[in-house]
A and B are shown apart, each in its own frame.
Chain A
Amino acid sequence: MESSAYIRLRDVVFSRSGRRIFDGISLDIPKGKVTAIMGPSGTGKTTLLRLIGGQLRPDSGQVSVAGHDVPRLKRKALYQLREKMGMLFQSGALFTDLSVYENVAFPLRAHTSLPEDMIRDIVLMKLEAVGLRGARKLMPSELSGGMTRRVALARSIALDPELIMYDEPFAGQDPIAMGVLVKLIRDLNSSMGLTSVLVSHDVPESLSICHYACIIADGKVIGEGTPEELRAHPSERVQQFLEGKPDGPVPFHYPSGDAAADFGVGGLSS
C-alpha cells in the first residue's frame, strides 16, 4: 500500500495551547480509496485534516500530499495544491450571503475563466449528482442540515478534485440523510476516482463504505487495517471504540480524587 500512498504522514508531532495533540503519528492514505479515520472526540481528527490541507503546520515530522511536502510549500504552491483538494466541513460552511447555485459556482469563478453558460452546466451537473438541482435558488438558511452538507459536497467537487476530505459528515444527521450521504460518498469515490479521507466517529457507517480505516487515540494510531482486520483487532481499546462499550481501557470515570472525601462520607472509594 505504501507505494500507492497519496497522503503520507511521518512522525508528525503537533501541539496546541500547550497540549500535545499528535505525538509522532505516522499514517499512509492510499490513492483512489476511501480511508476512514476514527477515534473518540477530541483526539485531533479534524486537526489531522487541517494538517493535510496545510491550514496548520506540524511542530515536526512530514506531511506529504501527492508528493508535495505540505508544510514547506510556499503560499502560492499551497493554494495551487488546494485546488486539487475538496473539503466537506462539519457545518457545511456554505457562504450565507450566496444562493446554493452561487455557492457551487464559487470555486469555478475563482479559479477558472469559463463562460457563464458552461459554469451553469457544471453547477447543475454537480447539484444533480447530490440530488439538489431543484434547490439551486434557495439560500443556505432555507436548507436542512442534510441538504446543507450535500450542497457543500457539490461545491467541494466543483473543480473535480483528486482528494476529498470529509469532516464528520454524518454528525447530527437523521437516518435518511445519513443513508444519502453514505451513498454519495461511495458513489462519488468510485465514479470520480477520488481519494477520500473520512473523519468520523460513526463506526457502522464509516466501516460500511471505507476500504481502509485507522483509529487514533492519545496522539497515535492505535489500530489500522481493512474493516475486517479492524473488527478482528486484538487491542481491547480498539474493540471498546468499535463496540461502543462505556467502560474499558478508556475508563467511564474521569480521573478524580477520593470519593469519600468529596461526598463527605466514609466507606466509599473512588
Chain B
Amino acid sequence: MMDRIAGLGRLGLAIIASFGRSGQFLFGVLAGVPRPATGFPLLVKQLYAVGVLSLAIVVVSGLFIGMVLGLQGYTILSDYGSESAIGQMIALTLVRELGPVVTALLFAGRAGSALTAEIGLMKATEQLSSMEMMGVDPLRRVVAPRLWAGFLAMPVLAMIFSVVGIYGGMLVGVEWLGVFEGSFWGNMQSSVDFVDDVLNGFIKSVVFGFVCAWIAVYQGYDCVPTSAGISSATTKTVVYSSLAVLGLDFVLTAVMFGDF
C-alpha cells in the first residue's frame, strides 16, 4: 500500500518536473531573438515543411467533412422543412469548431509527429550536440523556427480547412441535393458574425497551433536518444496534442460561447 502511494507521489513529482522543464525550454526558445538574415530563411523553410506539406491532408479532409456535413445537415433539416439553413449550419460548425479542432488534430498527426521525430533523430545522431559545440544554440537554430512555423501555419491551415469544407458542403447541398443557392449563401452571410464566430475560431486555432508545436518540439528535444525513445516521443506528441486540443477546446468554447 505504502509502495503504491510512494509510486503515485513519484509520478506526480515527475509530471510537475516535466511541466517545469517544458516551461524552461519554452523560455529558452522564445528568449533568443535570431538575426533576421539567418532566422527568416530558416522560418520560411519550416513554414514549407510544416504548413505547405500539410495542405494536402487538410484540403482533402476539409472537403470530405464539409460534404458529410452537407449530407447529414440536409437529412436532418429537411425533416423540419428548413433545408435552406444548411449553409448557416455548415459554416457555423466549421468556423467555430471543426475547422480549428480537426485541423489541429491533423496537424498533430502530420506535422507534429514529423517535428518530434526530426528533432529526436538530430539528438540521437549528436547533431544537436555538435551544434552546441560549434557555439550555435540549437534552441534558437533548430527549435525556434519550427515552433514559430507551427504557430503561424496552424491558423492559416484552419482557415483553409473551413473554406474548403464550406465549398464541400455547397457541392453536396446545392449542386447535388438542390438547395437554393441564394438561401445557402444568404443564410450563411446573415448568421455568421465576424467577431463572434470567425475571430473566435481563429483565436482557437492560434492557441491550438502554439500548444501543438510546443508539445512536438519539446517531446523531440527531451526524448531518450534511442530508436525506442524517438518512437515513444512521437506517440506522446500525437496523444498529448490531441488531448490538449480537445481539453482546451472545451475551455475556450465555454469562455467564448458559453453565454450562461
Where the two chains meet, the residues of A that have a C-beta atom closer than 8 Å to any C-beta of B are 53, 55, 79-83, 85-87, 89-91, 93-96, 106-107, 109-111, 152, 155, 159
Contact = CB atoms under 8 A, between A and B. Distances in A.
A79 B140 CA distance: 13
B226 to A, nearest CB: 14
19 contacts: A53-B133, A55-B129, A55-B133, A79-B136, A79-B137, A81-B135, A82-B132, A85-B133, A89-B126, A90-B126, A91-B126, A93-B126, A95-B127, A107-B134, A107-B135, A109-B38, A111-B134, A152-B130, A159-B134
Nearest to B37: A113
B125 interface: yes
A250 B254 CA distance: 67
B130 A89 contact: yes
A152 B126 CA distance: 12
A53 B129 CA distance: 10
Given A53-B133, A91-B125, A106-B134, 11 more contacts: A55-B129, A79-B135, A82-B132, A93-B126, A94-B127, A109-B38, A110-B38, A110-B136, A110-B141, A111-B135, A159-B134
Nearest to B134: A107
The 7 closest A-B CB pairs, nearest first, are A93-B130, A93-B126, A82-B135, A87-B133, A83-B135, A79-B135, A89-B126
Contacts of A152: 130
A109 B141 CA distance: 12
A143 to B, nearest CB: 14
Interface of B: 38, 125-127, 129-130, 132-137, 141
A91 B129 CA distance: 11
A43 to B, nearest CB: 19
A111 B135 CA distance: 8
A110 B126 CA distance: 18
Contacts of A89: 126, 129-130
With most chain A CB atoms within 10 A of its CB, the pick from B126, B132, B135 is B135
With most chain A CB atoms within 10 A of its CB, the pick from B127, B134, B141 is B134
B211 to A, nearest CB: 26
A231 B127 CA distance: 37
B133 A96 contact: no
A80 to B, nearest CB: 7
A53 B126 CA distance: 14
Contact of A82 (B38, B126, B133, B141): B133
With most chain B CB atoms within 10 A of its CB, the pick from A80, A86, A91 is A91
A155 B134 CA distance: 9
A214 to B, nearest CB: 22
B127 A93 contact: yes
Contacts of B129: 55, 89, 93
Nearest to A95: B127
Nearest to A75: B137
Contacts of B132: 53, 55, 82
A90 to B, nearest CB: 8
B134 A110 contact: yes
Contacts of B136: 79, 106-107, 110-111
A159 B136 CA distance: 13
A260 to B, nearest CB: 35
Contacts of B137: 79
Contacts of B141: 110
A196 to B, nearest CB: 15
B136 to A, nearest CB: 5
A85 to B, nearest CB: 7
A85 B133 CA distance: 7
B247 to A, nearest CB: 34
Contacts of B38: 109-110
B32 to A, nearest CB: 10
Contacts of B126: 89-91, 93
A85 B137 CA distance: 15
A80 B130 contact: no
With most chain B CB atoms within 10 A of its CB, the pick from A53, A107, A109, A155 is A107
Nearest to A78: B135
Nearest to B141: A110
A40 B134 CA distance: 28
A226 to B, nearest CB: 29
B123 to A, nearest CB: 11
